[in-house]
Amino acid sequence: MPHSNRDANEQKQANLFELLFERMPMGVAILDREFHIQRFNPTWNDFAARYAPATGVPLAPGVGYFEHLPGAERVVLPLFERALAGETVQANDVRLDAGGITTYWNIVLAPLIQDGETVGILNVAVDVTEPTRLRQDLEGRVAARTRELQVLLDISATVSRSLNLSEILQETLERIVSLVQATRAGVMLLDEQSGALIPYTLYPEQVIAPNDLAILGAACQRVVETGEILYVDPDAAQKLYEPGALLPIRTRQARTGVLVIIGPKNGHFTAAQLALFQSIADQMGGAIENARLFATSKQAAVTAERNRLARDLHDAVTQTLFSSNLIADVLPKIWERNPEEGRRRLQELRQLTRGALSEMRTLLVELRPAALEDTDLGDLIGHQVNAFIARARIPVEYERHCQHNPPVEIKEAFYRTAQEALNNIAKHAEAAQVAIRLDCLPDKTELAILDDGIGFDTQATEHKGLGLGIMHERARSMNARLEITSQLGRGTRLRLTWTPKQEKET
């Protein structure tokens, strides 16, 4: 090729390179081995105008890279050294902190080699500051939303596992304070009797001045009346330095209180946070309703149990004592006419009074369950036997071999099973004789109850009312074995067996 043509091609290539260098949308700079900027394109110059710190040396040929961008050495210098070592370096989302300005870059560093020696670095940079900030903002919002949803899930779990209102509200307030760095959070509730709005709980605990409490109470009263969120931004002119959110707590029937959240000093609550707070307040409303319904049902259960005990006292003890009184009145006359009949009636009187005493002891166990723990299982069953004899007038042969007391929960299960079985015999069996055997040994506790009554078909559905399902469920709950066998006209046999080994296997 002629020399003139070669020169023309080289000149054309040089012009093309110069055109690319000048118009490339990426920042391009050439640095020597000492990291002085030798050349840069207009895009790099635009980057400098936008991001270069005032503390740095203005961009110009010959200026040192780290003089122009002071503070970038920690991140950039190791990359430059790799490029000088002959490596082409590519890195994305490189964070530069220079003069208090934070930027993000995708960069390529290529070694410039002449005659086999690296003489400089070609630095190509793409500004990704804005998309990186947008991504980080999105990730931050997603993380915040995730935390908020987790708080809602945690509060839902707290509400579902407990009916203790103080415990639920206290744990909920702790989570709110932790989530938004609130200085304090509290709940005010309407008193069910007076209808007045009163402070219920506050976290963290602190003393509130009476005047401040009166102002807060008036604001909460407005929230209860309107059912609307009240949000107060900080206002230094009114000496309000913290944001405040007051949210109505609602149940299905009515508004029942106010959730109060005081944020960090000079902070701000967003609309999304206020929506979250209202969701939490609604969860509180459900917890309050459940706790109050439970308290009502518990009171109803207490009343029902009192009525049941009163009926038992009337049906059993009162009737037994009435019979005893009648026998005691006529016993002297019977004794005068027929001593043998008098002795029989005296024995009957003794059984009745012993039965009445056992009935009283049984009722005391119902009133004071701790008595189950204090009394031997053999004595507990014995009280039931005596009460049964006095009440049903059916003889019972009771045999006990008790060397060891089982744990209290096992003892209660045996006690309840015997109670249910004897009640069934008294009401349904039409038995003439009952035999009971109790063995309390270190390796086994076993109760057997046998009657000679009319029996029943254990598979028939009409006998579900005998409490068989409850007895079987109770046996399963303590890993015991319950066997109930019966035939029509041939009586019924119940056997309950528990061993410590069975409990450990679970």
pLDDT tens for residues 281-302?
888 888 888 877 777 776 666 6
The residue range of the domain holding 273 is 134-281
Which phi and psi angles does 63 have, rounded to 5°?
-75, 140
pLDDT, position 417: 92
pLDDT, position 506: 41
Shared domain for 175 and 123, answered yes or no, is no
Q: Is residue 338 included in any domain, yes or no?
A: no
* Mean pLDDT value across residues 478-499: 92
224, 254, 281 - which closes a domain: 281
Tell me the CATH number at 438: 3.30.565.10
Show the 3-state SS of 277-343. Answer: HHHHHHHHHHHHHHHHHHHHHHHHHHHHHHHHHHHHHHHHHHHHHHHHHHHHHHHHHHHHHCHHHHH
Task: Using CB atoms within 10 Å of the CB of residue 399, give its burial: 0 to 12 exposed, 13 to 18 middle, 19+ buried.
Answer: exposed
Q: How far apart are CA 88 and CA 80, in angstroms?
A: 10
Q: Is residue 138 included in any domain, yes or no?
A: yes
Tell me the CATH number at 179: 3.30.450.40
In this prediction the pTM is 0.47
Q: Is residue 270 included in any domain, yes or no?
A: yes
Q: Which of 5-9, 220-224, 230-234 has the lowest mean pLDDT?
A: 5-9
* Mean pLDDT value across residues 234-257: 86
497, 481 Cβ separation under 8 angstroms: yes
Shared domain for 92 and 158, answered yes or no, is no
pLDDT tens for residues 105-138?
999 999 999 988 999 999 999 999 999 999 988 8
Q: Is residue 470 included in any domain, yes or no?
A: yes
Domain count, the chain: 3
Shared domain for 101 and 219, answered yes or no, is no
SS3 content of the chain, % helix, strand, coil (to 5): 55, 25, 20
107 DSSP β-pair partners: 91, 125
Shared domain for 178 and 162, answered yes or no, is yes
Whole-angstrom CA distances from 109 to 17, 47, 68, 421, 437 are 18, 17, 18, 90, 94
Q: Please report where in the chains the tokens 């609309």 appear, as a residue.
A: 271
> What letter represents residue 37's amino acid?
I
Show the 3-state SS of 143-196. Answer: HHHHHHHHHHHHHHHHHHHCCCHHHHHHHHHHHHHHHHCCCEEEEEEECCCCCC
Shared domain for 210 and 275, answered yes or no, is yes
Q: What angle do CA 404, 408, 409 make, to 5 degrees?
A: 125
Shared domain for 152 and 116, answered yes or no, is no
Q: Is residue 356 included in any domain, yes or no?
A: no
pLDDT band per the 50, 70, 90 thresholds, residue 235: confident
Shared domain for 36 and 155, answered yes or no, is no
Shared domain for 268 and 153, answered yes or no, is yes
Q: How far apart are CA 5 and CA 34, in angstroms?
A: 38
Shared domain for 119 and 141, answered yes or no, is no
127, 156, 176 - which closes a domain: 127
Q: How far apart are CA 65 and CA 33, in angstroms?
A: 11
Tell me the CATH number at 116: 3.30.450.20
Shared domain for 33 and 80, answered yes or no, is yes
> What letter represents residue 443's amino acid?
D
pLDDT, position 504: 46
**Mean residue pLDDT across the chain:** 83
